[in-house]
Structure 1
Amino acid sequence: MPTTHITLVSQSITELSEAHPIFVTMIRQRKTDSMEVSCFLIDPGCLGVKDAWYEIHEPDLDALKERYFEDGCIEKSAAWGRHFVESAVAYAKKLGFKPHRDYKKATRVFGGIQTKDCSEDFSFGRNGKPFYFQSSKEDAATARKIINQLKAKCGDDGFHFIVEYSVEADPVTTQVEQCLEWAESGRIEDAFVKLKPLVKKHPDHAKVLYGWGLLHILDGDRLAAIRYLRMALEQDPEDQYAWYNLSVCYREEEQFGRAFEANCKVIEFGDENDAFWENAQEINRVLTECAHESELSIEDYISSHISFDLGVEAMAASQFEPALGHFRTAVQKNPRSHQGHGNMGTCLLQLGRPDEARKALQSSLDIDPDYKPALQNMKLLKKAKTDKPLSKEVFIHNFTRDK
């Protein structure tokens, strides 16, 4: 049974000057015969707390050591543990790096621990300078971002780094970044002129397609932006920024199902300390609440939205048979979608199936008696006595997305 507070630290602490990752586990015994456990993965080179979590563990210290410290550990005081972790956070903060998003939650074990009880000083970095070592979880883009941050804070020669592969941007990417800087400063036309030849010359370059998509966002053409961002993601499926901007476009187009899926990709591939990642989490939280308010699972809610959007696209292209199939799927997932039933009715009218159309329109009106497109189409249906497909201008189309 552990004492009230205890700190366990990996053996790598004995070589702190080498800036190897250090794993710290802080334990507080609870009155309920269980332990509060907070874990911190420390990068003493420059990044500080790279990972953190909090959990309740059974009161078995040996099992905890076996779980987290296969190569053995060193026991330290609670004051040492808090002082070391907070010192690493402070060092990283000076360099512009924030601790892991769950750091605050993990610090709940700090209660009652006084850092003044530890007089030890810690030296971070390597050989007196910040040191960055690219981990296997950090791709070239992430490594480049970290190195650029260190350059901004320390200068070109003010830090050390080791990377798996080159983090220097290729010339094409550099040109794309320049175009985006122009666009953000108001020079959108100049950016279009400069980037257009690159799109023709490098049609499969992820950054070129991404930049072309962003320019269309800034120019207000969201549909074109969606097209090029999708193309960029075909080349680089893990680009969190392309996924995030795609999500923004989908939300503006009221395609909430697709926006949710894009945000899931941001969360999967993104940096947890990035504002984009946090925004994606918050937006999906709101969409999940909307699903619950609709008494749907989040899976059915998102699926119904995506099917509805596919139906709208097909109907806008006068492809009424495929559109009908998409709307059927939408109302199967969300039977209370008056717009889905209404659009089914419109498709059936265009396909020359008035009896089925009447049932679909009535289903729409049963849900919302004041739904104008269904009311108008029902009125037109009563006047039209034919079993042949009618001109698409005859009946009212509803291109409004469910919310």
Structure 2
Amino acid sequence: MEPERKQEIANLRTLNLTPKQIARKLGLRVSEVSAVIRAQAEENALAHGKTATLDPLFECWVNGGAVEHFFDNPTPSTTIVEDESQGMAIVTVTRKAGHNRLVVCTYLLDYWCLGLKDTIGPRKFSTQDYAYFIDQAYQGFEEQPQKISLEQAQAMVYSVIDYAEGLGFKPHRDFQNSKAHLGEWDGQGKLDCGRDGKPCYFCGPYDDPKKILKTLTENVGEGNFDYVIEGESYR
């Protein structure tokens, strides 16, 4: 559809006309008008997400094992993969949304292979409920969670996503909802991912291992990655 006609639809929509009324007025099908209105709404939402002012930062958390891996002792690992928590991180970014109100997004990262596996938020909490949420979020890790800077949180999430995309894995679809909460990353301090210089895939309970191994083989080549699937391992 021509840009001029799309603008006419936008102008009529601002007058609170329904798609059916606009279609009748412009001699178009209702489905055509509805499609344009949806596309314009999506564009406006994306533009708003890029320009909206973020709430001030409150704090950021990550499990202690990830801190050791990326920031305290960034050296190759020679340990045997024993459980799914290895190579995993939960990054929590919390912003203050007013008195006694916090807004939280979490990012579940597989920094050895799959990238951003899941993300939740933005979710609102009272300060009391928030303390309980943080405690529950990191119960699956042996190490205590540690506070990190926003820049470190951004570097972790975006470095892991970039690494996984190079292997053929896209970030979780809900990242479009939680991405803006991270703020703009300047690209500084990019982190190395993988294990011992190559991908290491540990099969999770909801994974499709055949599909994942096929993707790894196609993108990095057979023998250029490690994996652990139901007790079977290749290294």
TM over 0.5: yes
Distance 1:135 1:86 in 2: 22
Gaps of at least 5 residues in structure 1 are 168-403
* Counterpart in the other structure of 1:31: 98
* Counterpart in the other structure of 2:185: 115
Distance 2:138 2:111 in 1: 19
* SS at structure 1 position matched to 2:147: strand
Q: Is the 8 A contact 2:159 2:192 kept in 1?
A: no
Of 44, 52, 55, which aligns to 2:119? 52
Q: Is the 8 A contact 2:155 2:191 kept in 1?
A: no
Is residue 2:146 matched to residue 1:74?
Answer: yes
Closer, same or farther in 2 for the Cα pair 1:100/1:114, shift >3 Å?
A: closer
* Counterpart in the other structure of 2:57: 4
TM norm structure 1: 0.37
The structure richer in helix per residue is 1
* SS at structure 2 position matched to 1:137: coil
Q: Is the 8 A contact 2:155 2:188 kept in 1?
A: no
Deviation at 1:96, TM superposition (A): 1.0
Deviation at 1:32, TM superposition (A): 4.9
Of 152, 157, 166, which aligns to 2:218? 152
* Counterpart in the other structure of 1:65: 134
* Counterpart in the other structure of 2:69: 15
Is residue 2:171 matched to residue 1:105?
Answer: no
* SS at structure 1 position matched to 2:87: coil
Closer, same or farther in 2 for the Cα pair 1:42/1:106, shift >3 Å?
A: same
Gaps of at least 5 residues in structure 2 are 1-55, 71-75, 78-85
Please provide the CA RMSD for this pair: 2.4
Is residue 2:209 matched to residue 1:143?
Answer: yes
> Radius of gyration: which is bigger?
1
Matched length: 160
The structure richer in strand per residue is 2
Structure with greater contact order relative to length (CA < 8 Å, sep ≥ 6)? 2
Closer, same or farther in 2 for the Cα pair 1:108/1:57, shift >3 Å?
A: farther
Alignment of 1:211-360 (within 5 A): none
Deviation at 1:104, TM superposition (A): 1.4
Distance 1:135 1:84 in 2: 21
Of 68, 90, 104, which aligns to 2:162? 90
Distance 2:144 2:229 in 1: 28
* SS at structure 2 position matched to 1:7: strand
Using the aligned pairs only, state the percent identity.
24
Alignment of 1:381-400 (within 5 A): none
